Amino acid sequence: MDALTAEGLTRRFGEKTALSRLSLALEQGSVFGFLGPNGAGKTTTVKLFTGLLTPTEGSCSVLGLDPRREAEKVHAQCGVLTESARMYPHLSGLENLAFFGALCGLSRAGARERGEELLKRLGLAEAGKLPAGKYSTGMAQRLSLARALLGRPRVLFLDEPTSGLDPESAQAVNAMIGEQAGQEGVTVFLCTHQLRYAQDLCGSYGVIDHGELLALGGLEDLAARAGCRTYAAFRLAEGETLPGFERDGAWLRRAISSEDEMPGLLREAVAAGRCVYEARIEPPTLEDVYFRFVGRGEGGETV
């Protein structure tokens, strides 16, 4: 059984189509990056999967369940981190977790223990004693993630989990997301603008703009479809050139079809008497791929 499916999933708000005929299926244990500019339809999709919105057309399922008709069962197996998670401001971080833990069926002691463990992992061990109302944006964001993980969910919906986090906290959060997927086999649906992190975490991606899914697949596959090439890049002594290479600042670049071309190119450069200070293979990045699709999406063209 797939963890998540969508079939022609559509949501309109009046005249506005926030999500148009989304179809996808995600295997259990996969980490899916849902990428797209502001207003693309990402949060709308999460709200449809978690039963906060009803589809205008089409359907979706979470672990085989309909999020609208079987909301309780879906919620029992999902952790959700939304853009604005509400906590009780007068309760401490830990008390909030104990409260929400009890709601997802943990015993009072079990919820506290799990809450303490998560706070520690997320660098909030001390802050856990403070009222949640006094948390900074980044602390509140991490507390929300702890809340999403309380009930050991099988599916995690993370809507911008690292927005507003400093680099150290973002790293801790990303490490935790990676662990959830790797060790715990949790399926992760991750909406993010942070393409570098997404590239480290995700096995497959959906690129969405104006409610339309523009691309779906793994990075290599998407890169091939978008026509993004892999390059051999050399940094030589100043002023030196190589045939077939183009200059980009201090680097000379040439597209290659396989990394097996690299040793030969390197040998040729050395044989030609060039001083090679650095040499590297540059595969397409998620950022390269993203801009190809989102750029083309402006014209409504799908690759």
User: Which residues contribute to the site for ligand ATP (CB under 6 A)?
Assistant: 13, 16, 18, 36, 38-44
> If contact means CB under 5 to 8 A according to the sort of partner, which of ligand ATP, Mg ion, none does residue 38 touch?
ligand ATP
# residues contacting Mg ion (CB under 5 A)? 2
**Could you tell me the smallest distance in angstroms from the CB atom of residue 165 to ligand ATP?**
16
> If contact means CB under 5 to 8 A according to the sort of partner, which of ligand ATP, Mg ion, none does residue 18 touch?
ligand ATP
- SS3 per-residue string spanning the chain: CCCEEEEEEEEEECCEEEEEEEEEEECCCCEEEEECCCCCCHHHHHHHHCCCCCCCEEEEEECCECCCCCHHHHHHHEEEECCCCCCCCCCEHHHHHHHHHHHCCCCHHHHHHHHHHHHHHCCCCCHHHCEHHHCCHHHHHHHHHHHHHCCCCCEEEEECCCCCCCHHHHHHHHHHHHHHHHCCCCEEEEECCCHHHHHHHCCEEEEEECCEEEEEECHHHHHHHHCCCEEEEEEECCCCCCCCCEEECCEEEEEECCCCHHHHHHHHHHHCCCCEEEEEEECCCHHHHHHHHHHHHCCCCCC
> Rounded CA gap, 284 and 287, in Å?
8
When the beta carbons of 123 and 164 are compared against Mg ion, the nearer one is 164
Tell me the residue nearest to Mg ion as measured from the CB. 43
Token readout for 95 is: 């008390």
When the beta carbons of 265 and 294 are compared against Mg ion, the nearer one is 294
194 is a contact residue toward Mg ion (CB under 5 A): no
**Could you tell me the smallest distance in angstroms from the CB atom of residue 44 to ligand ATP?**
3
**Could you tell me the smallest distance in angstroms from the CB atom of residue 297 to ligand ATP?**
13
44 is a contact residue toward Mg ion (CB under 5 A): no
When the beta carbons of 49 and 245 are compared against ligand ATP, the nearer one is 49
When the beta carbons of 95 and 159 are compared against Mg ion, the nearer one is 159
When the beta carbons of 19 and 119 are compared against ligand ATP, the nearer one is 19
> If contact means CB under 5 to 8 A according to the sort of partner, which of Mg ion, ligand ATP, none does residue 69 touch?
none
43 is a contact residue toward Mg ion (CB under 5 A): yes
- Side by side, the strands of the sheet bearing 251-256 are 246-248, 251-256, 230-236, 276-282
**Could you tell me the smallest distance in angstroms from the CB atom of residue 183 to Mg ion?**
28
When the beta carbons of 36 and 153 are compared against ligand ATP, the nearer one is 36
> Rounded CA gap, 279 and 76, in Å?
51
**Could you tell me the smallest distance in angstroms from the CB atom of residue 39 to ligand ATP?**
4
**Could you tell me the smallest distance in angstroms from the CB atom of residue 41 to Mg ion?**
9
**Could you tell me the smallest distance in angstroms from the CB atom of residue 44 to Mg ion?**
8
Choices 28-36, 38-46, 48-56, 178-186; region in contact with Mg ion by CB under 5 A: 38-46
Which residues here bind Mg ion, judged by CB under 5 A?
42-43
